[in-house]
Amino acid sequence: KAGVTQTPRYLIKTRGQQVTLSCSPISGHRSVSWYQQTPGQGLQFLFEYFSETQRNKGNFPGRFSGRQFSNSRSEMNVSTLELGDSALYLCASSSIPGVAGNIQYFGAGTRLSVL
Amino acid sequence: KQEVTQIPAALSVPEGENLVLNCSFTDSAIYNLQWFRQDPGKGLTSLLLIQSSQREQTSGRLNASLDKSSGRSTLYIAASQPGDSATYLCAALFLYNQGGKLIFGQGTELSVKP
């Protein structure tokens, strides 16, 4: 069974540009969550999607948005990039959100560098 | 505010030693607690998950415990090996809007010396 796939693995952008990251969950998983990891702030929750609906959103500005498609694949978009957006963006998938025994499986991440 | 704290931030031990990593959380209304391993520049690998109704979980040389009343979890690694060198993260799952949100600690960077 294939794991969580994130593309691309690396991205270099300049300030003001926008970027779209993609996440394909494990087959059969319908929940996708996104996290941002930086050396200073650690891992922070961005948002969670289930059945194409955003269930939860973290404390990030509106420049960060996402969506989920009918096949459970998810995309995350960041507009008007800032230097502080440089981070490792991780996607996690799980079968059913909010279940105590539900393990979240993480992808390898997309490393975004903003110059 | 829901916070997760890990102590120590870094740990260096000789090969073969048993060790304990600590994790504390401020809100006892957690749904579960997961321990992850992260190698440099890589994603997260789930090691153990303890549901809120459970006290501990074991996998090979790893044992994780959970005490909700005191807001603590520990990860015990027996007979450490150089291949165990990585950053270990604990994360507490809280329920929101029928979904969940993982709150992560800052991690413990473990180095096992041959």
Closest partner residue to A98 (CB to CB) among B51, B95, B106 is B95
Higher pLDDT, B66 or B96: B66
Which whole number is the average pLDDT over B77-96?
A: 93
pLDDT, one tens digit per residue, over A20-79 is 999 999 999 999 999 999 988 999 999 999 989 998 889 999 999 999 999 999 999 999
According to DSSP, the β-strands at B4-7 and A110-114 are unpaired
Interchain CB contact of A7 with B (< 8 Å): no
Q: What is the pLDDT of residue A112?
A: 97
The answer to whether A45 contacts B45, with C-beta atoms less than 8 Å apart, is no
At A98 the pLDDT is: 61
Three state DSSP letters for chain A: CCCCEEECCEEEECCCCCEEEEEECCCCCCEEEEEEEECCCEEEEEEEEECCEEEEECCCCCCEEEEECCCCCEEEEECCCCHHHCEEEEEEEECCCCCCCCCCEECCCEEEEEC
B98 pLDDT higher than 70: no
Pairs of residues, one from chain A and one from chain B, whose beta carbons lie less than 8 Å apart: 78
Of B34, B99, B101, the CB nearest to A103: B34
Of the partner residues B31, B89, B97, the one whose CB lies closest to the CB of residue A100:
B31
pLDDT at A99: 66
Average pLDDT in chain B: 92
Q: Please compute the mean of the pLDDT values over residues A87-97 and round it to a whole number.
A: 89
